[in-house]
Amino acid sequence: MYPVTKDFLGKPAPPGYVAGLGRGATGFTTRSDIGPAREASKPEENKGVASKLPKSQTQEDAGADDERRFNNAENEEGLFSNMPYEEDDEEADKVWAHIDAKMEERHSKKPQKSSDENAPVIEEQLRGFKRQLQGMSADEWDAIPDVSQLAEMASRAKRRRKNTTNRRGERMYRVSDSTLVAGLGMAGVDQSIVSTEDPSAADGMVTNFMALGQARDDVLRMKLDQAGGDSASGKTTIDPRGYLTSLSTVAAKSAAEIGDISRARMLLKSVTKTNPKHAPGWIAAARLEEIANKMAKARLVIAEGCENCPQSEDIWLEAARLNNTKAQEARVILASAARNLPKSVRIWMAAADLERQASDQKAQKRILQRALEFVPTSIVLWKEAVSLEQPEDARVLLSHAVDLVPLSTDLWLALARLEPYERAQKVLNRARRAIPTSHEIWIAAARLEEQEGQRERVPKITAKAVSSLIANGALMGRASWFDQAKQCEDDGYPATCQAIVAATADLDFDQDDSPMDRVDIWTEEAEKMLASKNVVAARAVFAHALDTMPTNVDLWRLAADLEREHNEDPQALDALLRRGVQYCPQAEVLWLIAAKEKWVRSGDVDGARVVLEEAFAANPNSESILLAAVKLESENEQYTRALALLDRGRALSFDGGKKGTARIWMKSVVLLRQIGQLDRALETVRQGLQGSFEKSYKLWLLQSQIEVALGRPKEARQTLSKALKSCPTSVDLWIAAARLEASHHFSLHTRARAILERARVYVPRNPQLWLEAVCLECDIAGNNEPKVARTLLTRAIQECPKAGALWAQAILLEPRTQRKAKSVDALKNTSDCALIVMVARLFWSERRLEKARSWFERATRTDSDYGDAWAWWLRFEFDQGSSEHVGNVEQLCIKADPHHGQMWPTVSKDPSNARLPTKDILHKVAQALGSTRQL
């Protein structure tokens, strides 16, 4: 088949042909296509070219236009031409037409670019400049700056403008040479710099800096002399020496402040001109001048204001204030003010105060008397006038004052204070009739009776006061009355305070409030009173609460605590407790408190015995009362009577038909052990264990300890073995068994370790067992590195992360350089007292003594019952403190009376230390801590 040959191949392209134009390609032209500097073709030529195009190409363009008509969404001649035109379409067209109109209006407001076809193109505009470039030389071409150089020059010019702007506020002016030369003195020290390279130096022109400085000083001195001299007499009117000093006191104002003051002055001037009768505007204008340190102008402004606003009280007072340095002018101003405003109390008081500042009491009295003629009902003026008089004259004035101002409570009370007792009663009665709603008058009447020794009348007056005020509608809450009671106590009227509390304590309660609810509220209010040191008021609240609920044991205890801490009279506490046991005979705690107070506070041992006998008669099966009697007898070395009481207690039947209690049996054994009767103590403890108390781990411990003391360690081992079978969860028994195996009696550390491991199975996650195991490994290691102890301690801390004793031991076993970091980790996990003590010891080892003392104090505040903390603190004060610090620690420890710790129970429960006081035990524990591992 022969190939088809295209007829246009090898033929030239038609004029104006662009490849791909028919299918939408735009194409592009280059300089080679159009030739050098060829002008654009005219539209007429294009039309001619278009007419020469083939018909097929014209049809293709028409088809393309026909396809493009679907690109316009608003053209409905295509896809939607056959759709019906409805009302919605018409409304939509109107909306869009309105939007188009708005957009065209908006665009029409913007400046339109010129679309003149005759405007010259850029090429024609630059054609003349291009011709001028023909005459430029090569050097001129090189001198044209680069773009980067232009940017640098622009930034440099910007910085120059900025620096010029910043220096605008602080311009400096050069002094002319003629002025400097005229001020030169005689011969001065030649302080010059001569440069051999400067040609002017060869001509003898040198710069003398010392001469320039002296010339400037001479010019300044001359100007000061001219400012302070009198042109007529030649005498100075100012102090030349103090002139510069006075300048330092002048507050320099910035340009912004001066501008603000100027603007404010213009604004206020407009205000005063617009409304000259507006007094605040004049006052503000005067104060503005005062701020600007123009006192003379301020006085002129305020004087003009007084002329325009003579009925303004504030403007007269402001004028007097601005003239306070000139007493006579201030008097004139206040006199004018009083003539214009004769009933102004403030103006009269300002005039009196002006005379008071001048120490002219007669003039002050005269002004107040004149003021009272115009304002006879002013309480302020009457008080000020009375304060200047002697008591007799003051009483006369007050008698006249209460007639003119009968509703002033203060005037009535002041008159009553100046009158004798009988006349004061009459004055207060008149005051009550004049002001039936005043509680102050009733309280003053009660105080008057207490002051005269008529205390029995005080409760009647307060009760009548409450009922009268309620009848007259003067309602006061319980809190307000209690505030008045506390004020009476502070002023030294305790009977009135108690009477007010008793009469008003039941106010503000509903009928639905139970007595227990009332007691709770009263207790909270009494505690608040104690916090504010109002003991009498708190005692009165407790007394009223006890009258309401006399069978509340906790209330009696709180009242007893108050008397013990705030009353030095032991009879008051004894009487209170006597009343308490009458209402609550079954309350053992009240009997015990009464007996202890008799014994400890009063030293009355026989009286304490009587109280305990009465208590035992009211509570025949009371373990606490029996043991209290035993302690009383044993502490006073009456061992026979104490043993007899214990025998009696072991014979009594308690709950479940048991003979005695485990505690009574234990106290019996402990007392026999203390007095040295070990065989009898061993027999007694065996009887108790064979009876009904084989589950008492303390009896098992006592038996093992007595057997060790008798030299029978093997029997003690068997006893502890039986004890662990009866009490497998007792931590103290496991520790005692391990310590016995590790002691010098057996020295079986391996068996002790096995016992502690077995104990952790029965009692998991117990820090005491872990600590005992760690201490055992440390004892086994001796002076060597306790590697096993550290490993064991890591496991212990993982199981008990909150145990402070374990963290303290971990810090102790760490190297010195790592102890601080370990202590920080420990404190993040717990704040136990034992850990705080270890941190304090760490500061002690670093010689940071104040820090260590504060941490020891913090430890005792955290847990005051931890005895080891007190002992370590005492060791610290013995080593680094003074005798005063040691005494302070001893007193605080005696007050806290600790019982627990790692070393404290071991020392305090030693039979040889049984009757030692807390102070001696503290010293023994501190001494025993010296043998432990140190930092």
Q: Report residue 727: phi and psi, to 5°.
A: -130, 75
The answer to whether 776 and 752 are in contact (CB under 8 A) is yes
The burial of 414, by beta-carbon neighbours within 10 Å (0-12 exposed, 13-18 middle, 19 or more buried), is given as: buried
Determine contact, residues 632/608, Cβ cutoff 8 Å: yes
Q: Which of 793, 789, 848 is nearest to 820 (CA)?
A: 848
Which pLDDT does position 485 carry in this prediction?
95
The pLDDT tens digits for 499-526 are 999 999 999 998 888 889 999 999 999 9
724-752 pLDDT tens trace: 999 999 999 999 999 999 999 999 999 99
Is the backbone of residue 508 left (phi > 0), alpha (psi -120 to 50) or beta? left
Which of 230, 185, 226 is closest to 208 using CA atoms? 185
pTM: 0.64
In this prediction, residue 603 carries a pLDDT of 87
- Output the six-digit token pair for 677: 């009767």
Query: Given this model, what pLDDT does residue 882 score?
Result: 92
Q: What is the pLDDT of residue 444?
A: 94
Query: What are the two backbone dihedrals, phi and then psi, of residue 192, each rounded to the nearest 5 degrees?
Result: -125, 160
Q: What is the pLDDT at residue 469?
A: 92
Given a cut of 70, the residues of the chain with pLDDT beneath it are 1-10, 18, 20-83, 109-121, 146-150, 161-259, 656-657
- Secondary structure in 3-state letters for 606-625: HHHHHHHHHHHHHCCCCHHH
pLDDT for the residue numbered 679: 94
Q: Which amino acid is at 479?
A: A
Q: Following CA atoms 414, 418, 422, 428 in sequence, which dihedral angle do they give, to the nearest 10 degrees?
A: 0
Cα–Cα distances (Å) from 690 to 684, 686, 697, 728, in that order, read: 10, 6, 13, 18
Q: What is the pLDDT of residue 541?
A: 95
What's at 542, amino acid-wise? F
Helix (H) or strand (E) holding 729: none
- Per-residue pLDDT at 502: 94
DSSP three-state, residue 192? strand
